[in-house]
Amino acid sequence: MKKIISAVLTAVFAFALVLSAIAAPKKIQVRFAGTEADTTPQSQALHEVAKRLNASGLFDVKVFTAGSLSNDTDGLVTQALQGAPIVVPSDPGRIATNQKVLDYGILMAPYVLKDYRVLDKLIQTPLYKEWEAAFEKNGLKLVTNNWYNGMRHFITNKQVTKVADLKGLRIRGFGNTIGVTLAKALGYANMSLPMTEIFSAVQTKAIDGAEMQIPASYGARFYEVLKYQAMTSHYMLTSSIVTGAKFFNSMPKEAQDLFIKTFRDVGTEWQPKVAATEQANLDAMKKAGLIVSTVDTSKFEAAVQPYYKEMGFSDAIKNRLLKELSAK
């Protein structure tokens, strides 16, 4: 009799486990795909978002950094557009050009955004909400753009203290209209190549340097092959966190809300951390031998002013952005 009762209880328990497995909600599988070194603030922030989302029980997020999933940001965004469950940190200039939402690139225009503390306000402006809708119409979900990634400067094999010093140098920069036009304005040759190929390209003398944010330069150890840094602060680099609208809209509303909130919360929390990391990384590179030049940024700013229209921006869009950011 005891054996019969034991067998029945075992069967009931096994059946309960099956029912529990069937009833348990399936976790949302997501891959975060970044190209920066795992040690940079952007990559570490991706890990933090993944940790929080996974802790909710709704998600199963895996993080890929340093180009381990792919070092082709545009290719990753294309996969997201096709419905793959991928989240990609891109930049405003890149996705503005690729998705034909050209005015969005004003966020990457030289010397427009200068203080990371405007970013939380930016994503609440009417202009930003119009951009969100335009991207979604194209199939791309703009999750947030309040991720500060550092100011961009020139790190080179020749000392740069004035605009004329850049003339003739081959600098790795953004391959979009903004990057090409910036090079034209400042007199260098813009070289477009993946982040993971910069170090070797400098070693083989294919390029003379890069325009890059300090945490990325430090994380990729560019100071080992490049000797000089000019503090031009010509872009404020932000990470546009994007995924496919098809994938995003397939989530339950609860998951969508948590997804957006988590990315934005982490963006806000990490802004001052990135600023502190910039200074710490710069100090470390100087200690390792990097020669840092403080330049008159007004001269660089003046050199690019005539090229805004060539970059595709009207005075109206620039003025509207600055007006909405300054509104109380």
Domain holding 217: CATH number? 3.40.190.170
Per DSSP, the residues of 139-206 read: TEEEEEEEEEEEEEEEEESS--SSGGGGTT-EEE--SSHHHHHHHHHHT-EEE---GGGHHHHHHTTS
Residue 17: inside a domain, yes or no? no
Task: Evaluate whether 119 touches 238 at the Cβ level (below 8 Å).
Answer: yes
The set of residues, in sequence order, having a beta carbon less than 8 Å from that of 321 and lying 6+ positions away, is 106, 107, 112, 125, 127
41 backbone dihedrals φ, ψ, rounded to 5°: -55, -40
| Amino acid 71: pLDDT | 86
Question: Which amino acid does the sequence have at 285?
Answer: M
| Nearest-5° Cα angle at 180, 176 to 185 | 145
- What is the extent of the structural domain holding 172? 28-326
**Tens-of-pLDDT digits for all 328 residues of the chain?**
545 544 444 444 444 444 444 445 699 999 999 988 898 889 999 999 999 999 999 999 999 999 999 988 999 999 999 999 999 999 998 899 889 999 999 999 999 999 999 999 999 999 999 999 999 999 999 999 999 999 999 999 999 999 999 999 999 998 888 899 999 999 999 999 988 899 999 999 999 999 999 999 999 999 999 999 999 999 999 999 999 999 999 999 999 999 999 999 999 999 999 999 999 999 999 999 999 999 999 999 999 999 999 998 988 999 999 999 998 6
| Amino acid 40: pLDDT | 87
| Amino acid 24: pLDDT | 55
Residue 73: inside a domain, yes or no? yes
Residue 11: inside a domain, yes or no? no
Exposed / middle / buried, residue 181 (Cβ in 10 Å: 0-12, 13-18, 19+)? buried
* pTM exceeds 0.85: no
Residue 111: inside a domain, yes or no? yes
Residue 22: inside a domain, yes or no? no
- Bridge partners for 140 per DSSP: 244
Residue 16: inside a domain, yes or no? no
Residue 92: inside a domain, yes or no? yes
How many distinct structural domains can be found in the chain?
1
